[in-house]
Structure 1
Amino acid sequence: MFVDKAKIFVKGGDGGDGLVAFRREKYVPEGGPAGGDGGDGADVIFRVDEGLRTLVDFRYQKHFKADRGEKGRNKARHGANAEDMIVRVPPGTVVIDDDTQEVIADLTRHGQEVVVAKGGRGGRGNTRFATSNNTAPAIAENGEDGQERWVVLELKVMADVGLVGFPSVGKSTLLSVVSAAQPKIGAYHFTTLTPNLGVVDVKDGRSFVMADLPGLIEGAHEGVGLGHEFLRHVERTRVILHVIDMGATEGRDPFDDWVKINDELKLYNAKLEDRPQIIAANKMDIPEAEEHLAEFKQKLAELGKDIPIYAISAVARSGVQEMIYKLADLLESIPEALVVEEVEEVEERKVYRLETEDDDFTIRRDNDAFVVDSPSIEKLIKRTNFSTHEAVMRFARILRKKGIDKALRDRGATNGQTIRIGDFEFEFVEQE
């Protein structure tokens, strides 16, 4: 089964919680804090595996959740970091954020990796909160939540030569003749619904990969017919082999077919207009084909186009080998990196704990409650363990320092009124 598009959920592992602990050695009076930090959660990493050819595995598994870090340990020992989750994808996979439609990565080389969901940092243990004023703090942080997102995977087939043309022009037959591939062949439109790959042996020690891609129709760049399901695969091919039904067995004009297909390619991606192309004038065993070919060459010359044309019959296997030699020669002159879309490499920014966070907040009324919107405070709430009095008092001090207490009073908050920050609710209490 060939699957070239999938939508999956990925979540980095949560960080391990920090620990509140104290030294208990027999001869160490007032030993002080000894709670270690939690371990970092695992990242979800996509890695290219050239042994894969489709995204079929993602049809059956759509959720990937990495492990969380270990909790902090006593004696100030750090909890173990979780081992990263490696998800294998085939070469040619484009990873897109489903919410923003941003391209996260374009994975083309074997072994290439990208972090798709970052694991959360481990929480700090109480040893981190010791000060000269508080030598035995009972405060520890919860681990940070791992990043989570829905991503769309799109596979663009990595092939040297891509067969393009209207349905039923003989693309599948040609692939079956020049390689060991056995595509489905039938006398009706859209026999080929998914790309078929075949390795072509040139007979002189060279070989290349040829892809028989679903037939195009007019309007494909707008998604008509198989539309985008086909066109995204053409982007990866180094050479376009345009197969024309020169016998006009479907009643269409061969030159008109050539013009329409090239227009669709150009409208979908302007770069495809400059992609090296060879024309395979197929079905030359039909009596009218010679006359049609002469007209085709004349019209092509009038446009000033200098494109190699090979008269072949895939069924009779005539003229095919000469065309294969030309394709192999052309591929040797084209670097493989030519067709790989350039995706800006963004250097990963190292994030340190002392990095300042956005202190902006807004306050609004929701019936009798006051709602504080502040990403930094919501993050602080998730990392605060409210089971100890010290942690509650620390949280209150941070709110005062950020000016949230004063802003609430200015908006009319009084003792006992409900304050809501994210999913967390508490009562407003005036300090005496």
Structure 2
Amino acid sequence: MASNNFIDYVKLICRSGKGGAGSHHFFRAKGLPNGGPDGGDGGRGGHIILEGNSQLWTLLHLQYQKHVFAKDGEGGGENLRSGAQGEDIVLQVPLGTVARDAATGDQMLEITEHGQRLILVPGGRGGWGNDHFKNSINQAPQYAQPGEPAIEAIIILELKLLADVGLVGFPNAGKSTLLSVVSAAKPKIADYAFTTLVPNLGVVAYRDYKSFVMADIPGIIEGAAEGKGLGTRFLRHIERNSMLLFMISCDSPDINAEYEVLIGELEQFNPDLLEKKRLLAITKSDMIDEELEAEIRATLPEEVPSIFISSLTNKNIVPLKDLIWKALEETRRDAAPTKRQGLGEEEGDEEWPS
């Protein structure tokens, strides 16, 4: 990538801590040579945990941390003393981080809230000491459990930006310019293709102190789903956007054709993207008069609401915000509550069966 500041993909070799072995010990004291079992339990091995941090927006801090190994739990001792737990490793990640098993590609968990903690790789449970196995028949058990082994896995962390609005368009459609006008973001703007090489986020102020987050995704070209241009590298960020704002310049020779190409590329990447609400903004409309605008409007696709805007003159910027806010409210009303996905919370280790 051209930028060293935005990293949205890292691969980690992870190993949790193994559980400590339970103790096989019998109490011995003067006058009590045949005391009962008093072996303590082994300590749990260290977890590897992901924690959401809203102050982070990139995985850059994990780029060179290739190995993540948690500490093992200690073995149990005499007099029912339990072994110490292995120290957990907590990795801070930005919101929108998804963890996948590199071997299978299956999603393991995702982090969507600040302070949310989910176990990425659980540590092995400590073994029970022989005290657990005594009973009326077996009063001197000669057995204690070993600790559970460590778990090793190659984990892929992917960042999918959490934004309300994703800007979709060809290079030089005016996406970065719009973001710079409606928010405090300062994306790089130039008159050549692929000016934007990494996604940019901006908070857009709206009426009555409301706001929404807009994401400028690097430009898509025909064949992106097949690897052309910047390929599908950043299309994953669109998956977490509540709605999509398509942007096409008014000087395009065929606006309908460009729109269909963009739709086709998104469908090849992930057909579910077409279920999102869409708006179409015809940009740079300060370059055309009302008569030409009316002619273009008559040719626009009917299935998507459209608006002519100019970031240079602020033409229809406020009405665009109104349309976006209305679409976001409809999306929130239609959204069904979803259960948070993950392997489990940080606390709450299960006991071993006897």
The equivalences for 1:239-318 within 5 A come to 239-248=243-252, 252-287=253-288, 291=292, 293-300=293-300, 305-318=302-315
Aligned-partner residue type, residue 323 of structure 2: K
Matched, 1:156 2:153: no
Aligned-partner residue type, residue 110 of structure 1: H
Residue 173 of structure 1, CA deviation = 0.8
Aligned-partner residue type, residue 89 of structure 1: V
From 61, 74, 77, give the equivalent of 1:73: 77
Deviations 1:270-305 (A, max 9, x none): 2222321111111112248963x444432335xxx2
Q: Is the 8 A contact 2:101 2:107 kept in 1?
A: yes
- Higher RCO (C-alpha under 8 Å, 6+ residues apart): 2
Q: Is the 8 A contact 1:238 1:339 kept in 2?
A: no
Query: Unpaired segments of 5 or more residues in structure 2?
Result: none
The equivalences for 1:13-32 within 5 A come to 13-32=17-36
SS of the equivalent of 1:228 reads: coil
Residue 313 of structure 1, CA deviation = 1.4
Q: Using the alignment, how far apart are the partners of 2:317 and 2:262 within structure 1?
A: 22
**Segment of structure 1 superposing worse, 126-135 or 327-336:** 126-135
Structure 1 residues 138 and 185, CA, compared in 2 at 3 Å: closer, same or farther? same
Q: Using the alignment, how far apart are the partners of 1:244 and 1:154 within structure 2?
A: 29
Q: What is the TM-score when the length of structure 2 is the normalising length?
A: 0.87
Residue in 2 that maps onto 1:183: 187
Structure 1 residues 347 and 122, CA, compared in 2 at 3 Å: closer, same or farther? closer
The equivalences for 1:99-178 within 5 A come to 99-128=103-132, 140-178=144-182
**% same residue:** 42
Residue 332 of structure 1, CA deviation = 2.4
Deviations 1:382-423 (A, max 9, x none): xxxxxxxxxxxxxxxxxxxxxxxxxxxxxxxxxxxxxxxxxx
Residue in 2 that maps onto 1:208: 212
Q: Using the alignment, how far apart are the partners of 1:214 and 1:99 within structure 2?
A: 29
Q: Using the alignment, how far apart are the partners of 2:210 and 2:350 within structure 1?
A: 49
Q: Is the 8 A contact 2:243 2:276 kept in 1?
A: yes
Q: Is the 8 A contact 1:255 1:296 kept in 2?
A: no
SS of the equivalent of 1:321 reads: helix
Residue 340 of structure 1, CA deviation = 9.5
Aligned-partner residue type, residue 306 of structure 2: I
Q: Using the alignment, how far apart are the partners of 1:339 and 1:235 within structure 2?
A: 17
Structure 1 residues 341 and 52, CA, compared in 2 at 3 Å: closer, same or farther? farther
**Segment of structure 1 superposing worse, 211-220 or 221-230:** 221-230
SS of the equivalent of 1:45 reads: strand
Q: Is the 8 A contact 2:37 2:141 kept in 1?
A: yes
Q: Using the alignment, how far apart are the partners of 2:336 and 2:197 within structure 1?
A: 24
Q: Using the alignment, how far apart are the partners of 1:289 and 1:282 within structure 2?
A: 14
Query: Unpaired segments of 5 or more residues in structure 1?
Result: 356-432
Q: Is the 8 A contact 1:117 1:146 kept in 2?
A: no
Alignment RMSD:
3.0
Q: Is the 8 A contact 2:118 2:344 kept in 1?
A: no
Deviations 1:137-195 (A, max 9, x none): 66555432221201111111111111110001111111111111000111111111111
Q: Is the 8 A contact 1:169 1:244 kept in 2?
A: yes
Q: Using the alignment, how far apart are the partners of 2:63 and 2:335 within structure 1?
A: 31
Residue in 2 that maps onto 1:51: 55
Aligned-partner residue type, residue 15 of structure 1: G
Residue in 2 that maps onto 1:41: 45
